[in-house]
């Protein structure tokens, strides 16, 4: 990864509510009944521009009932009960809620303008297990990572420089080599503690993924672990340190080192905590400390890769998919 930071790059203006109402539906890219979420592709035009509408991806997810609204839910928020069936002592209903700005019905993430890479990423796709040897990483994956323009993670640099999302930061450790910023992931509503999801983004820019880690990074990894396990239970009373899951993805969704922090009861993250995706921070530390200082340069790593991923065709061509003989 280049260490270049496009500090003068422009922060995109957020579309207004009126502009969003003019979102032109094209198709559903993907949906997940577990998370009650859907990804929609459409077109969106800025009212302040004469340019044609641009591709946009809208990620919608219904929100969990908040603890603060439950005491008055039956009396004040339920507008209508619609009976659907009954059997003996069991009765089933659908319901309609009144609108209340304090308790939104859904959350949304807009990607606009969306690129073809975004559309491929958020579309439904068959997935396959891949065995990434050190040779495959060096000859295929690493060149791909190095080809990604720095602009693709400008949003990360905006967070680190506090040009964006500064009000969402809950913890910052400013030391250059072991420091990081901790903030809520956009998948979390910041209310339901059982769904807690934080992300720690490191300040240093020389670590792109787990393959770059060696024993010289142990102070950083241990500091991440210690600070997070100490801070989170204080920030969010009711959560214990032994209820937190700290892990790293490989392959990650973006190539600037970051650590995911979730509550153990948060098991609805689509693929995020699955085997062949998530590597526990404790295990990473132990592998580097006790087994080999360059463990992740030598190890063969197994992970899931989607058919739309830019790496898939090369992985498929060289026979990296898991078979009975590999």
Residues in the chain, overall count: 326
pLDDT averaged per 10 residues in sequence order, the chain, 326 residues? 40 84 96 90 88 94 83 88 95 93 90 92 94 98 96 95 96 96 92 92 98 98 98 97 97 97 83 86 98 97 95 96 88
Write down the pLDDT at residue 8.
41
Would you call 258 a catalytic residue per the annotation?
yes
CATH topology of domain 125-317: HIT family, subunit A (3.30.428)
Binding residues for substrate, by number, are 155, 165, 185, 187, 249-260
Q: Where are the domains of the chain?
A: 17-107, 125-317
Would the pTM count as exceeding 0.85?
Answer: no
Specify the CATH number of the domain 17-107: 3.30.200.40
The separation between CA 221 and the C-alpha centre of its own chain, rounded to angstroms, equals 20
Alpha helices (H) in 65-208, listed in sequence order: 116-122, 134-136, 142-147, 154-160
> CA of 182: how far to CAs of 68, 159, 177, 202, 235, in Å?
26, 10, 15, 9, 12
Write down the pLDDT at residue 271.
57
State how far the Cα of 301 lies from the Cα of 131, in Å rounded to an integer. 6
Please pick, among 135, 217, 230, 258, the residue that the annotation labels catalytic.
258
Tokens of 201: 């983004």
Tokens of 236: 């969010």
Measured on CA atoms in the order 253, 255, 256, 260, is the torsion positive or negative? positive
Place of tokens 């880690």: 213
Q: Are 92 and 271 in contact (CB under 8 A)?
A: no
């Amino acid at each position: 990864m280049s260490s270049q930071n496009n500090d003068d790059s422009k922060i995109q203006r957020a579309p207004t509510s009126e502009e969003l109402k003019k979102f032109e539906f094209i198709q559903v890219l993907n949906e997940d009944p577990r998370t009650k979420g859907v990804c929609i592709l459409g077109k969106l035009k800025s009212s302040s521009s004469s340019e044609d509408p641009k591709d946009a991806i809208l990620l919608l997810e219904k929100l969990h009932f908040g603890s603060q609204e439950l005491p008055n839910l039956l009396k004040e928020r339920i507008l209508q009960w619609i009976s659907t069936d009954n059997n003996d002592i069991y009765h089933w209903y659908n319901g309609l809620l009144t609108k209340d700005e304090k308790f939104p019905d859904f959350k949304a993430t807009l990607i606009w303008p969306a690129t073809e890479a975004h559309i491929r990423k958020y579309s439904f796709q068959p997935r396959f297990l891949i065995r990434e040897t050190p040779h495959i990483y060096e000859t295929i994956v690493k060149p791909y990572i190095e080809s990604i323009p720095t602009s693709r993670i400008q949003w990360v640099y905006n967070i680190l420089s506090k040009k964006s999302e500064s009000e969402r930061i809950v913890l910052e450790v400013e030391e250059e080599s072991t420091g990081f910023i901790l903030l809520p992931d956009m998948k979390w509503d910041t209310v339901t503690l059982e769904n807690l999801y934080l992300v720690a983004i490191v300040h240093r820019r020389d670590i792109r993924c787990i393959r770059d880690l060696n024993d010289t990074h142990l102070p950083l990894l241990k500091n991440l672990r210690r600070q997070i396990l100490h801070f989170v239970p204080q920030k969010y009373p009711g959560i214990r340190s032994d209820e937190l899951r700290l892990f790293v993805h490989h392959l990650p969704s973006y190539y600037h080192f970051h650590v995911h922090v979730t509550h153990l009861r948060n098991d609805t993250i689509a693929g995020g905590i699955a085997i062949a995706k998530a590597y526990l921070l404790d295990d990473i530390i132990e592998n580097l400390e006790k087994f080999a200082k360059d463990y992740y340069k030598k190890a063969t790593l197994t992970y899931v890769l989607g058919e739309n991923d830019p790496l898939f065709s090369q992985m498929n061509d060289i026979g990296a998919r898991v078979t009975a003989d590999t």
